[in-house]
Amino acid sequence: MIDIPVTLYRNMKNLPSEHLLGGGTPMCAGCGGLEALNQVYDIVGDKSVFVNAAGCMTLLSVYPYTPFRGSWIYTAMGSAPAGAQGVRDALDILLDKNRIGNEDDMEVVVLTGDGSAYGMGMSATSGTLDRDLDYLYLCYDNEGYGNTGQQFSAATPHGAKTATSKGPHGYPGFKKDLFEIWAAHKPAYVATIIGAEPVDLARKIEKAMSMKGPRMLIALSPCPTGWDFDPKETVNIGKLAVKTGIWPLKEYVDGKIIHTKIPRERKPVEDYLKLQGRFKHLFEPQRDDELINEIQQRVDRYWEDVS
């Protein structure tokens, strides 16, 4: 008999669907990825198969239980898109052979962190996009390898300190533009979302659920442990990511990129940066105006091109 916390068991067995994720599960307080996943799951529902790459969200499941009322499959970090291909193919074969009816079909959902989406799993993802796989892909982007100590990833922003970027100026590289990489494959849909903007998120998930083919979602996921901030600030930091223009909310559909929320009067990026310990070195013991201005100018250039 596996010892499982009573709170976790109750969470999985007794709570209504709107409270399925979290609760007694061993997730960090204030997790921005879980905030987004809860909202996404409310819309996707339990007629789903979640193919979960190794990462933070793997902690949602304590064998032999998961908080998903549908199905859940665990894969290695770079293998989730390949796993989704197998699941989708199996469902299609069962449909073709009348072994199941359309009412028993399921939505196939890949769930990965940025370590997989931006790096280890990119090749497998590209293959599924080339094959026009009918699936939903959700990347919770906490801008580092959060499950193993917040080492830098291809999603880490310029200047952030990580477990492997401890120099005086933080991470010297720049965040990879995964949205543009995915959009270059011309899939059915690509969108950026964030849990702090639930209306925008809900509209995009509903739109994605109405489509067929690859539907790709990137959720910026404020991480209290990796970004070093008080968990109560998760929503505030998420909103500031949008208001400062650091996290553009946009979608690619029908060959066009549309910004779904444009911050007309953008707040300065330092309002966002100064709330996070990973950027503390930009302000203490001496203010690093050069690096702060560099980050601000990159954001300004982005929005100049949009307008």
Within a domain: 123: yes
First-residue to last-residue Cα distance in the chain: 60
Which pLDDT band, with edges at 50, 70 and 90, does 65 fall under?
confident
In a domain, 21, yes or no: no
The runs of H, that is alpha helices, within 45-118 are 80-96, 114
For residue range 160-200, list pLDDT tens digits in order: 999 999 999 999 999 999 999 999 999 999 999 999 999 99
pLDDT value at position 61?
A: 84
Contacts 24+ apart (CB under 8 A), 185-189: 185/126, 185/129, 185/130, 185/214, 186/255, 187/129, 187/132, 187/213, 187/214, 187/215, 187/216, 187/252, 188/212, 188/213, 188/214, 188/215, 188/253, 189/213, 189/214, 189/215, 189/216, 189/251, 189/252, 189/253
Burial 220-245 (b: 16+ CB within 10 A, else e): bbbbbbbbebeeebbbbbbbbbbbbb
Residues 6+ apart with CB under 8 A from 65: 4, 8, 9, 12
pLDDT surpasses 50 at 259: yes
pLDDT at 229 over 60: yes
Give the separation between CA 121 and CA 101, rounded to whole angstroms: 32
- Which residue segment(s) compose the domain that 189 sits in? 29-306
> In this structure, is residue 19 part of a structural domain?
no
Q: Residue 100 — φ and ψ, nearest 5°? A: -135, 155
Q: Give the count of domains, the chain.
A: 1
In a domain, 3, yes or no: no
Query: Is 264's pLDDT higher than 50?
Result: yes
CA–CA distance, 255 with 189 (Å, rounded to integer):
9
Q: Is residue 7 part of a domain?
A: no
CB atoms within 10 A of CB 298: 16
Mean confidence (pLDDT) of the chain: 91
Q: What mean pLDDT comes out for the span 70-80?
A: 93
CATH (domain of 274): 3.40.50.970
In a domain, 300, yes or no: yes
Residue 150 has pLDDT above 70, yes or no: yes
Say if 11 falls within a structural domain.
Answer: no
Q: How far apart are the C-alpha atoms of 307 and 304, rounded to whole Å?
A: 5
**pLDDT tens-digit readout, 17-29:** 344 454 445 688 9
Least confident of 57-66, 73-82, 203-212, 276-285: 57-66
User: pTM of this prediction?
Assistant: 0.91
Say what percent of the chain tops pLDDT 70. Answer: 91
pLDDT of residue 63: 77
Q: Quick check: is 180 in a domain?
A: yes
Average of per-residue pLDDT across 138-142:
98
Structure tokens at 293: 């201005």
